[in-house]
Amino acid sequence: MSSFPAVLYIVVPCYNECEVFPMTATELTKLVISLIEKGKISDKSRILFVDDGSKDNTWELINAEYQKNHYVCALKLAGNVGHQNALFAGLMAAKGNCDIAVSIDADLQDDTQAIVQMIDKYYEGCDIVYGVRSARKTDTFFKRTTAQGFYRFMKGMGVKTIYNHADFRLMSSRAIEQLGNYEERNMFLRGIVPLIGYKTDCVYYERKERLAGESKYPLKKMLAFAIDGITSFSIKPITLISAVGIIIIIVSMIAAIYSLISYFCGNTTPGWTSLILSIWFLGGVQLVSIGLIGQYIGKIYVESKHRPRYNPEIFLSDETREEIK
């Protein structure tokens, strides 16, 4: 049952965001104050910045904002654990203090006004509300093509994801509670959250240009993220290896029959081209297959260690503020 007015926590993972942070803090604070004045959220609502082991002075800026802005809370992780784990850490920190939590990137390319619509959907009974991009006008042709191809490929692999949705979403306290029950170390929240269930809906918005700084997802990281998502949620690649193996066997049998017919007809011509090509082809297939299987074995190895996803170093909350006073 939706409580009214709800306590909202806006969870913002930050990694080397010193250039954009002042603008982010200002805009989100204005939004929270506006929602409180309209009676949509409780005055206990907060903005939770999560520093993911930044190498610049992002944490110093967050700490300074916490000292002067009572709407701000802060969590500093002991080291860089990646965007997904940092976001998860923020949600777990907010879990016991909020009715709803909205996750958003620090660059504020996601439209903050969509949060208002998300809250309305929550009051209508939704536990999870996805922020979905209505267009990709701000993306380059390469990024737009690869991103859309990624979503289609994930769907083809049997992974349940929301098309054109990243990590901009609202989750109720009970949805966050259930999220905490997923114990895998390879966090891919875009695939995990749809598995939770409950009533869901979508809010559509246009993504803006980045205000300052640079993207934290270059091509190398995007590819690693895609591979991690696929291998964490689907065994279809291994199934495809088996299918490729069967096809190669069938092709080999056809080639063997053709060779025998050519031999008995006296049409055999000695040559190494076809032999070399077949060796290289089969060698390539085998190496790719071994590498793919290695990915799955590596994940099993990491999961079996049960290491913590993150180590919190400092948590600046309302309670901490009272202790300082």
pLDDT, one tens digit per residue, over 264-312 is 676 655 655 566 566 666 766 776 777 677 767 776 766 676 777 778 8
Q: Where are the alpha helices (DSSP H) in the chain?
A: 21-37, 58-68, 83-94, 114-123, 141-156, 173-179, 189-196, 219-233, 236-264, 273-305, 318-324
Q: Which fold has domain 8-213+310-324?
A: Spore Coat Polysaccharide Biosynthesis Protein SpsA; Chain A (3.90.550)
- Residue-level pLDDT at 108: 82
124 vs 119: CA distance, rounded Å: 9
- Residue-level pLDDT at 121: 92
In terms of C-beta density within 10 A (0-12 exposed, 13-18 middle, 19 or more buried), how is residue 238 classed? middle
In a structure prediction context, what are the per-residue pLDDT tens digits for the chain, which is 325 residues long?
Answer: 566 789 999 999 999 888 889 999 999 999 999 999 998 999 999 999 999 888 988 999 999 999 889 899 999 998 888 888 899 999 999 988 899 999 998 888 888 889 999 999 999 989 999 998 877 666 666 666 776 777 777 777 667 777 778 889 999 999 999 998 887 777 778 888 888 888 999 999 887 775 555 555 555 666 666 666 666 666 666 667 767 777 776 776 676 676 667 666 766 556 555 665 666 667 667 767 776 777 677 767 666 767 777 788 888 887 776 665 5
**Two tokens at 152?**
């289609």
194 vs 159: CA distance, rounded Å: 10
The 8-class DSSP code of residue 6 comes to B
CA 79 to chain centre: 19
- 274-297 core/surface letters (b: 16 or more CB in 10 A; e: else): eeeeeeeeeeeeeeebeebeebee
- Residue-level pLDDT at 47: 94
- Residue-level pLDDT at 192: 84
Q: What is the pTM of this model?
A: 0.73
The 8-class DSSP code of residue 29 comes to H
Summary mean pLDDT of the chain: 79
pLDDT tens, residue by residue, 1-39: 566 789 999 999 999 888 889 999 999 999 999 999 998
Query: What's the half-sphere exposure (Cβ side, CA atoms, 13 Å) at 274?
Result: 8
- Residue-level pLDDT at 195: 86
235 vs 286: CA distance, rounded Å: 18
120 vs 258: CA distance, rounded Å: 68
CB atoms within 10 A of CB 92: 18
CA distances 98 to 32, 171, 261, 311, Å, are 14, 10, 76, 22
Domain range list for the chain: 8-213+310-324, 236-305
Pairing verdict, β 46-51 and 8-14? parallel
Cβ-contact 234, 159 below 8 angstroms: yes
